[in-house]
Amino acid sequence: MKKAIANKEIDVNEEGYLLDFSQWNKEVGESLAEENGISMTDKHWEVIAYLQEKHHKEEALSIRGIKKSGVINIKEFYALFPGGPLKKSTLIAGIPKPKSCI
């Protein structure tokens, strides 16, 4: 389906995740964050960049991976993206929601 995000027509799935990463830019991320009650800081963007890089390398995302990332620890991760950190952060990053149970 189509959704208007940051004055752009963006293809998203029924959960609101972007279907085509090439349609993503910082404004889109900013707008998705705002919808989820998150105001982005430099630390948020650092995490988003890490997630996108992992995704482009086709490496699976998990909470254990976050712990080992060296970018952020788990406590901060939960504080930055309250209410389901990996779910929220991947949505903002314009990449698919991780399918893993861990």
Partner 1 sequence: MSETKVKKMLFILSKGTLENAYAAFVMANGARMEGIEAELFFTFFGLEAIQKKKLEHLHVATVGNPAMHMPTMLGGLPGVEALATKMMKKEMEKLDMPPVSEFLEILSDSGCKLWGCKLAIDMFHLEREDLIDELDGILTIGDFYNRANEDGTHLLFI
Q: Residues with catalytic annotation?
A: 101
Tallying the residues shown for the chain, one arrives at 102
The set of residues, in sequence order, having a beta carbon less than 8 Å from that of 84 and lying 6+ positions away, is none
Q: Smallest distance, Å, CB 96 to partner 1?
A: 14
Q: Smallest distance, Å, CB 7 to partner 1?
A: 23
Residues lying near partner 1 in the complex (CB under 8 A): 14-16, 60, 62-65, 67, 73-75, 78, 82-87, 100-102
57, 58, 54, 49: which is closest to 24 by C-alpha?
Answer: 49
User: Which residue lies nearer to partner 1 by CB, 7 or 39?
Assistant: 39
User: Which residue lies nearer to partner 1 by CB, 45 or 78?
Assistant: 78
Are the beta carbons of 84 and 30 closer than 8 angstroms? no
